[in-house]
Amino acid sequence: MTVRDWKQISTIAFERGEVLLEEPNYDLSKIDKIPNATVVNVGGPSISLPPTEFSPKAVRRFLWEHRKTRGVSRSRSVLRINRLEDSVELCLAALTHKDAAVRLEA
């Protein structure tokens, strides 16, 4: 099992809005360049915070609390951050093949 640098992951997620947990330096905005790859929501743990409480530390706390769940521990896990007008949502997603995504969404 890979040891993850939760501080690095939370900082990158805070800055970019999403991060591949296994490879935090990978730029997920380039996902379109990977044939048949996509990121889908998996319905795992999520949290909604007021914007005033949103920080890299809050991201790190969320990840640490859920570190043993499948949504965080799988190698293709992605943390997505949705900044809304009155809240910030943290949710887990997964990098997967487009065909699998179609089956998951059906």
Q: Please count the other Cβ atoms lying within 10 Å of the Cβ belonging to residue 43.
A: 11
Domain membership of residue 1 (yes or no) is no
pLDDT in the model for residue 103: 54
Total tally of structural domains belonging to the chain? 1
Please say whether the beta carbons of 96 and 104 come within 8 A.
yes
Question: What is d(CA 89, CA 96) in angstroms, rounded to the nearest whole number?
Answer: 22
Q: Is residue 80 part of a domain?
A: yes
Task: With cut-offs at 50, 70 and 90, classify the pLDDT of residue 106.
Answer: very low
- pTM of the model as a whole: 0.83
Domain with 71, as residue range(s), is 6-105
Give mean pLDDT, residues 41-65: 92
